Structure 1
């Protein structure tokens, strides 16, 4: 069967491999759609510290169950499903306190083990989520990025009436915007440096849009908040050098959610954090958010198709990667379709 394999940084392509089997406790999925994520691009560029090469990437995918392994209950061939890529041990301290997404022995499908950029993939049965008929397989392939948004918003614990600043209008910034609106936040500002992305943010319901290259974000947010600052800041731009500014923009008792994996140190002015009693939270992957997002899609509170800028067949993976690398202003979510 065909698969997209990253052999080493900048060394990738479509290869022929043996089809996997559904071992005990596993489900074999015939993949229909896969989204290309920024973390997939980091693996391709050699910027992901967690990946083990060679690797078949892809952690945003959905398809149809082809077979089930011994001991699997509640899943049958023909079921339409999407896959939570987070695999945890269930025994370590984070798992014991309900934080399996930071398990000490964490594995991520598409990073630590083979993922969805192959015609068939075998996954643990516990990671399979059934889909209601109202959710198409193309939408279901995008459940995972919405779980990232749900996770960071939950980590920041919004209160009624809180204003939210989202830094970055890429895919994750846009999912945060959509989920925040679905959860009832009514004052959302999105900042980016690419006008095309800001236009998309406006179309998806951003109440304010700021181009950080042309406007002084700190001054804009101070004026907008009457000098009080912003209670919720989600950093989907993931630029470490911006952290001091975010701490200044935050209101007293504000919460800043960080999503980046950059190893560059950030300056932290302790006085700024302490005098405001800021809460700074990291957010990694998702903590059992798949059912919540699937329900939001089924109810129409989220529109995953609005994220998709391009749909390409699996045979054009190289073109898709070139598009994302060289035209970020045009490429939001690039969705890859396998032949049925």
Structure 2
């Protein structure tokens, strides 16, 4: 099968690799759509502590079940599905404490989603594979980033009518604001130093904050999507008492940042981090998408064929910011 193989930082190739191995308990999926994530770009640029080359990148996908082993009962050939890029072990300390999103012994499918096929065991599929209606197959490929947003929201429990400012109008920033506005009923605001990137969220009814240098308002929560440490102390003073400053983006190893401890002490405001998602978050994301509660078609304007030349173009467009969200049609 054709696949994108990550060989080392700044070294990826489009090549033929063996199909995933199958057994009596295996579900083999023909990938229909997959999307490039910021983690894929970061891995390409500088490596990733949990992604060891050589390996196939990609973890946002949907597809159609191509074959099932004789021991598989819950899925059938022809099912439209989307899958979680990992499931939690259920036995480590984090899982026992009810925080599966930081499980220390995650389990993974056969390979990444930048490939024509991906396989899961029946055991994996019980937690990590979901059927979707055919009309939502492409949107369902973005279940994982929606799940990450839902996990982030649980860190500050937004209520209808509360104000939330999202800093950064990249894909995850706009998705945060859209989900918070649509699903949680908050007053969603967004800001970015690149005013061109604010056109899409404005068209979605998200309120725009253009000049953050003159920012004078206060918010129940502020979500920082860019991993820029200087933003922490800059926006901390705009969090309401008992509000939350949410560190959504992943910072480079060894990053240090300043914050005002008196604001935490005297106002009860919190600085919280969020990463990953739980199985419940992923299932909820799939339900929201397939019930039509959120429309993700606005992010699907940069789709590429899954070929050697188009794969390179997609990665370059994603890295250079020309594509808000780059995806492959397989």
- Give TM-score, length-normalised by structure 1: 0.89
SS in structure 1 of the partner of residue 231 of structure 2: helix
Tell me the equivalent position of 1:261. 250
Superposed counterparts of 1:144-159, under 5 Å: 144-159=144-159
What does residue range 1-340 of structure 1 map to in structure 2 within 5 Å? Answer: 1-23=1-23, 25-69=25-69, 71-107=71-107, 114-123=111-120, 124-126=124-126, 127-135=128-136, 137-210=137-210, 215-217=211-213, 219-220=214-215, 222=216, 224=217, 229-262=218-251, 263=253, 264-288=255-279, 289-315=281-307, 316-326=310-320, 328=321, 330-338=322-330
SS at 2:52 equivalent:
coil
Count matched residues.
321
Is the contact made by 1:151 and 1:287 (CA closer than 8 Å) also made in structure 2?
A: yes
Provide structure 2 residue ranges, at least 5 long, that are not aligned to the other structure. Answer: none
Residue 25 of structure 1: CA displacement? 4.3
Per the normalisation by structure 2, the TM-score is 0.92
CA deviation vs aligned residue, 1:72-131 (integer Å, no higher than 9, x gap): 33111111100111222110122123321110113566xxx6210111111232311110
Q: Secondary structure at the match of 2:209?
A: strand
Q: Distance in 2 between matches of 1:246 and 1:277?
A: 15
Moved more, 4-13 or 153-162: 153-162
* Structure 2 SS opposite 1:181: helix
Residues 183 and 293, structure 2, Cα contact 8 Å, conserved in 1: no
Matches of 2:313 and 2:276 in 1, distance apart?
27
CA contact (8 A) 2:191 2:212 kept: no
Q: How far does residue 243 in structure 1 lie from its aligned partner after superposition?
A: 0.7
RMSD (Å), alpha carbons: 1.8
Q: Deviations over 1:186-218 (max 9, x none)?
A: 4211011112211111112212232xxxx234x
Partner Cα separation in structure 2 for residue 199 and residue 153 of structure 1: 24
Q: Give 3-state SS (helix, strand or coil) of 2:245's partner.
A: strand
**Structure 1, unaligned stretches of length 5 or more?**
none
* 1:5–1:57 CA contact under 8 A, matched in 2: yes
